[in-house]
Each structure stands twice: as structure tokens, then as C-alpha cells.
Structure 1
Amino acid sequence: MMKFKLLLWMLTKLLQRAVKTNPKCAAYVKDKNVTFQIQTANGEGRYFEVKNGKLISYAGQTQSPSFTFTFKNGSTGFAVLSAKDSVNTFLTALRTEDLVITGNFVDVMWFQSLVDFLQPHPKPSSTM
């Protein structure tokens, strides 16, 4: 469970850095106002607020998230969120119900695009 909680905290820091250092990411969150939650089935996790161009997270749960990712347990959440082949791992978790998503799917898709700002982009190769 500790690895899962640490990963969620790191997700906050990585997203905050992306907003701060990437003008496209900053523009992407600028006018968004959403609260979402990532948790385990027993309620352990964090909720995230995107408001006024900033992202903040808190331990625990919020009363009315726009959407919630609920993982079967902390180890499953850690495995899915830290997977190298994240898309297939994510889809498999959904199919096997190791991950259940509830709430506004438009905001879920917005979040998926936000997370894309964390993906390393290959540097152009120089040819000589």
C-alpha cells in the first residue's frame, strides 16, 4: 500500500512540474476546474483538484469527485500506474475489473490527455 500512496504523491509532483515547465500543459489546465480521485477498493488514496491553472492533491477522499479510479488493492494500483506498457495494462485492468472507473468519462479522457504530458518524447535523431 505504501508504494501506491507514494506513487500517487509522485504523480502530483510530476503533474505540478509539467504544468510549471511546459507551456502546452499549463494551457491545457488553465481553464479546467475538476476534482478526481484515485483510490483502492477500501478507500485508500488521494484526490486531486485542478483549479485556476494549478493542481493540488490531498490524502483521503473527497465527497463529490468528477470521476474516480478504484483499484482492487494498492499493489494492483501500483502495478497498473507504473507499467511500462501502460495502455495495455490499463485496459487489461479494466477488463478484469482490477480497475473500475466511475463518473464523468469526458473528464476521464481529459485526464488521460493530461497524463500524456508526463510521457517522455523521443528526441529527434540527427543524421550526418
Structure 2
Amino acid sequence: MKFRFLLWMLGRLMGKASRTNLDFQQQLGDKDLTFQLHTLDGKVARHFIVKDQRITSKSGPAVEPAFSLGFKDAAYGYATMTAKNKQLAFMQGIQDKNIQIQGNPALVMWFQGLIKYLKPRKKK
């Protein structure tokens, strides 16, 4: 349940950032694609649609995603995406085959670059 909520919240945060954050919009550029995050058992899936410098998300698997990240199960996906050192957690998961990438790996790196724009801003 936590993983499902995390994916939903990620969609909300990226949607808001795509409307209000100019740096985030620049990262989206002219991309027109769909990607998904899911569990390998198929119990949890959410796809994200990038079009016209906006991101929307929908529950369930995508028809033809440009890339997908599959986690061995929901608990592992939640732990990986909330880890202090996300890059290390992802690399370890890929090595251990607990995370599977399908599609274009360069787009996975692009997606990970988007996440840094979703961190809360420090108050001045």
C-alpha cells in the first residue's frame, strides 16, 4: 500500500512541478513519451505520460512504455525509492536483479535526474 501511495504522490509532485517549475519544464524539453514504475508480480503499476512539457499519471500498466522500472515487490520498491542514497540503492538493486529495466536505459537516467527537482526547497 505504501508503494502504491508513493507512486501516486510521485505523479502528483511531478505534475505540479511540470506546471510551476521552469527548471523541471526545461528537463522535460520536447519529450513525448510514456514510462512506468511497477512490481514484477504485476500487482502495482503506475504509468506517467510526458507530453508538451507536462506530466500526468494514471494507475495501471502502460501499453507501450519507452522504459519501465520493475521492482521485485512493493516493499522493495518503497525501500529503494525512499532510501537515503537512492543512486546506490538503484545500482545495488539492478546488480542483484531485484530491479529490472526494460526499454531505453538512457531515459531511466533522465528520469532519475528529474527526481532532484521534487525535493522540498529550503526556507531562506
SS at match of 2:100: strand
Which residue is equivalent to 1:18? 17
Classify 1:119/1:75 alpha carbon distance in 2 versus 1 (closer, same or farther; 3 Å).
Answer: same
SS at match of 1:117: helix
Aligned pairs for 1:45-60 within 5 A: 45-60=45-60
**Structure with bigger gyration radius:** 1
2: distance between equivalents of 1:118 and 1:36? 18
Taking every aligned residue pair, what percent have the same amino acid on both sides? 37
Question: What TM-score do you get using the length of structure 2 for normalisation?
Answer: 0.90
Shift of 1:120: 4.9
Name the aligned partner's letter for residue 35 of structure 1.
T
Over aligned residues, Cα RMSD in angstroms? 1.7
Classify 1:95/1:122 alpha carbon distance in 2 versus 1 (closer, same or farther; 3 Å).
Answer: farther
Which residue is equivalent to 1:103? 103
Shift of 1:123: 7.5
2: distance between equivalents of 1:122 and 1:3? 26
Unaligned runs of 5+ in 2: none
Runs of 4+ residues over 4 Å off in structure 1: 120-124
When structure 1 is superposed on structure 2, of 69-78 and 37-46 the one drifting more is 37-46
Aligned pair count reads 123
Unaligned runs of 5+ in 1: none
